[in-house]
């Protein structure tokens, strides 16, 4: 009766026929049950196996091969099944960063009094893939084929060591511990099968390559990762300061024994570029390619301790960029902002936001919330503010009171808030919200709008009370809990549904099986979610939640600027690809410079920009934005019409506010250049606020 995780690395194994792979990095795992190859298949892909699109540099996509079954954990009993569909793959101990897999036979299927099974503790970053055999005759298989197997004796702790060479010349190390039969031995039967000579309980571990560090870690396995963190302030007041830093750790929970008493785990570049001295002390000489995030490094260590010094503690509501230019709120700019506000305040917010999509409705509410912020704090016009506030409150209340066209409902199966839109029809309606796609995108706009409305109403009432917060706090807190619930003890929502601590960003794909794994199309709407929750935490005075969001945003900055936003100095992604500047759709197994809704350049680049808010420059540095503009967009902008033009031009404020002002500050500005989530009021207020 616990919440089930919907957007995690292992979700493919709870969907459809369980035939799509999962990625722990550097390995991928698949459930094999075909042609006598029945078990859990392990694969590792090297960079020379990547395939690029057949076009000019920068390439449109690159992809890693799937279906290569280098090593398959099986048994003679699994292989002999007349119907491979009788082999059962089940999951238990589901967590946001780990899961336990179990391969089992049907009861009494080979005249045994007990089910035979293999248990696999699965954690992101595993150095070994570990299979714990119970009442089976172990069998290793390979569709690549075994050229040779060599037994290299026993380690000093009596763990058997083997060296396997496949027909593709790749070497794999195999370790066997806890064998219940002292005569246990693995022997090559034919080119596809290596078999134990006896039925035995045992633990088998495999890893690609050959290293003394594997010897030191063999016999110990990680079954769970606990996340701990601490935000450290440079001042003595206890409130976050501009010099705040943070330390967060992946604490590896282990079982078994090894010569070093430590496991071997692999780290991604955004981890090891920020490791503490303690964790760096465990670095080995083992490096393995990941599928989409560069080269991983092996560490013989009990925890990954990561230090960040650049938390966005001072980035809140007010416009700003990392350029730190002085705001230019003079008579001219304020006059133009006021002119735009007079028009947009008078619009019919109630009807314009009455949409059947949580995504587009949220964008509309957030659009007018930013207009509200501008009238209250930039124009400091109480009368304009009070004209818009009740309209925006009523429009928001329609959603919190579930009177909108497709209201949210609570799903008792997976436990979360989902749109009613796709329940009895097309699961792809509203971008798959009903099946947990894009929740952090959709709900971020509601949370951000609520934070602004609540702040404005509190300040209008001198901080005494907010009718809006009294009526809507529970609803907004439910949205926060759905996308980023920090509590492991919450029985109504899973912990960290969207955010992946190991990968350092969220995954948008929910309950849809995918051959290339989880994916994310918009880095900017990803960080907009956690920025919005941070602002909400300020308004409702939840300090602990706000500090967590500062940490998550810092983690995301290191990840997104390493893998998704690629400046010319990027050394992680393939050199043949970084010229795209943004990745497009980022999968676990491939990266494709496109979108789900079209291949126009403005779509691909722009979906990684919107919405432009004070947090944007924290991720999109002036250097990066300038390169993207000069190399991709300046020659393209005249071909762009509609709202994407406004998005691309507001983005220029992050490196050249004057260029942005010359566009938005025109006397007869074309409102057709505004995206449906943009207002001219906020565009002018933001650009002037950052020096335009």
Q: Which of 410, 416, 33, 27 has the alpha carbon at shortest distance from 207?
A: 27
Residue recorded with tokens 């794994």: 517
Q: Which of 449, 421, 441 is nearest to 349 (CA)?
A: 449
Angle between helices 523-539 and 543-563 (to 10 degrees): 170
Structure tokens at 455: 């702040």
Residue 144: C-alpha distances to residues 19, 38, 166, 406, 684 (Å): 19, 15, 7, 50, 60
Q: Which of the residues 381, 457, 525, 627 is marked catalytic? A: 525
Q: Check 366, 521, 550, 602 and give the catalytic one.
A: 521
Q: Closest Cα partner for 405 from 359, 454, 453?
A: 359
> Any long-range contacts for 577-582 (C-beta under 8 Å, 24+ apart)?
577/52, 577/58, 577/59, 577/62, 578/58, 579/57, 579/58, 579/631, 580/58, 580/60, 580/604, 580/632, 581/605, 581/624, 581/627, 581/628, 581/631, 581/632, 582/523, 582/608, 582/628
CA distance 264 to 515: 28
Q: Are 398 and 409 in contact (CB under 8 A)?
A: no
- DSSP states along 42-93: EE---GGG-EE-SSSSSPSEEE------SEEEEEHHHHT-SSGGGSEEEEES
Q: Are 446 and 504 in contact (CB under 8 A)?
A: no
**In the annotation, is 516 catalytic?**
no
Q: Which of 458, 671, 551, 536 is nearest to 232 (CA)?
A: 551
For residue 342, indicate whether it is catalytic.
no
User: What DSSP state is assigned to residue 653?
Assistant: G
Q: Give me the catalytic one of 60, 438, 516, 520.
A: 438
- The sheet carrying 51-52 orders its strands as 51-52, 61-63, 590-592, 585-587, 519-520
| b/e burial code for range 269-278 (CB count within 10 A of at least 16 → b) | bbbbebbeee
Contact 680, 670 (CB under 8 A): no
Query: Which residues, in sequence order, are CB contacts of 66 under 8 Å at separation 6+?
Result: 21, 28, 30, 43, 515, 516, 589
Query: Annotated catalytic, 520?
Result: no
Backbone angles phi, psi at 13, to 5 degrees: -80, 0
**CB contact burial 367-385 (16+ within 10 A = b; e otherwise):** bbbbbbbbbbbbbebeebb
What 3-state DSSP class applies to 433?
helix
Q: Under DSSP, is residue 187 helix (H, G, I), strand (E, B) or coil? A: strand
Strand order in the sheet with 160-166: 88-92, 98-104, 117-123, 129-136, 200-208, 171-177, 160-166, 146-154
In 3D, which of 491, 505, 493, 489 has the Cα closest to residue 441?
A: 505
Burial of 170 (0-12, 13-18, 19+ CB in 10 A): middle
Beta bridge partners of 63: 51, 590
Active-site amino acid positions = 438, 521, 525
């Amino acid at each position: 009766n616990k919440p089930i995780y919907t957007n995690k690395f292992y979700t493919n194994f709870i969907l459809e026929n369980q035939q799509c792979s999962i990625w722990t990095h550097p390995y991928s795992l698949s459930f094999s049950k075909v042609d006598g190859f029945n078990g859990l298949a392990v694969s590792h892909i090297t960079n020379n196996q990547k395939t690029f699109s057949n076009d000019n540099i920068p390439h449109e996509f690159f992809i890693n091969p799937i279906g290569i079954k280098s090593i398959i954990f099986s048994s003679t009993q699994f292989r002999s099944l007349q119907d491979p569909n009788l082999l059962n793959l089940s999951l238990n101990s589901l967590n946001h960063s780990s899961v336990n897999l179990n391969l089992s036979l049907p009861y009494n299927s080979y005249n045994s009094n007990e089910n035979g099974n293999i248990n696999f503790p699965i954690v992101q970053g595993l150095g070994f893939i570990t299979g714990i055999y119970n009442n089976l005759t172990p069998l290793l298989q390979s569709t690549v084929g075994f050229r040779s197997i060599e037994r290299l004796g026993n380690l000093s702790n009596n763990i058997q060591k083997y060296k396997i060479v496949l027909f593709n010349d790749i070497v794999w190390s195999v370790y066997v511990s806890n064998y219940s039969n002292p005569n246990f031995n693995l022997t090559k039967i034919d080119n596809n099968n290596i078999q134990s000579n006896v039925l035995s309980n045992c633990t088998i571990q495999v890893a690609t390559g050959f290293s003394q560090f594997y010897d030191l870690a063999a016999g110990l396995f990680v079954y769970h990762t606990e996340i701990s963190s601490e935000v450290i302030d440079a001042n003595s007041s206890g409130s976050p300061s501009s010099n705040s830093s943070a330390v967060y750790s992946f604490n590896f929970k282990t079982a078994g024994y090894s010569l070093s008493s430590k496991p071997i785990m692999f780290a991604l570049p955004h981890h090891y570029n920020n490791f503490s001295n303690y964790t760096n002390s465990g670095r080995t000489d083992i490096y393995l390619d990941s599928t989409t995030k560069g080269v991983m490094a092996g560490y013989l260590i009990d925890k990954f301790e990561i230090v960040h010094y650049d938390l966005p503690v001072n980035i809140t509501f007010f416009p700003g960029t990392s350029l730190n230019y002085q705001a230019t709120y003079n008579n001219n700019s304020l006059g133009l902002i006021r002119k735009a506000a007079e028009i947009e305040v008078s619009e019919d917010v109630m009807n314009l936001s009455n949409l059947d999509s949580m995504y587009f409705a949220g964008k509309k509410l957030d659009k007018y919330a930013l207009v509200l912020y501008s009238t209250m704090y930039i124009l400091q016009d109480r009368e304009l503010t009070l004209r818009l506030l009740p309209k925006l409150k009523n429009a928001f209340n329609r959603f919190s009171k579930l009177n909108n066209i497709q209201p949210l409902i609570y799903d008792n199966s997976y436990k979360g808030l989902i749109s009613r839109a796709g329940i009895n029809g097309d699961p792809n309606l509203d971008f798959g919200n009903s099946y947990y796609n894009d929740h952090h995108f959709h709900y971020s706009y509601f949370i951000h709008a609520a934070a602004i409305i609540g702040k404005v109403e509190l300040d209008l009432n001198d901080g005494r009370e907010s009718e809006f917060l009294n009526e809507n706090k529970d609803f907004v807190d439910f949205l926060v809990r759905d996308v980023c619930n920090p509590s492991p003890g919450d029985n109504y929502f899973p912990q960290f549904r969207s955010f992946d601590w190991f990968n350092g960003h969220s995954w948008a794909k929910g309950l849809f099986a995918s051959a290339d794994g989880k994916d994310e199309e918009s880095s900017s709407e990803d960080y907009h979610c956690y920025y919005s929750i941070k602002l909400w935490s300020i308004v409702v005075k939840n300090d602990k939640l706000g500090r967590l969001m500062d940490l998550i945003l810092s983690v995301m900055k290191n990840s997104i600027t390493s893998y998704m936003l690629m400046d010319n100095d990027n050394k992680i992604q393939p050199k043949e690809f970084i010229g795209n500047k943004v990745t497009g759709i980022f999968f676990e197994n491939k990266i494709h410079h496109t979108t789900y809704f079209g291949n126009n350049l403005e779509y691909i680049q722009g979906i990684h920009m919107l919405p432009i808010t004070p947090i944007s420059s924290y991720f999109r540095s002036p250097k990066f934005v300038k390169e993207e503009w000069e190399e991709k967009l300046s020659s393209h902008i005249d071909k762009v019409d509609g709202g994407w033009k406004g998005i691309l031009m507001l983005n220029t404020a992050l490196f050249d506010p004057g260029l942005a002002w010359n566009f938005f500050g025109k006397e007869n500005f074309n409102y057709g250049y505004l995206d449906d989530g943009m207002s001219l009021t906020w565009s002018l207020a933001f650009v002037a606020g950052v020096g335009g």
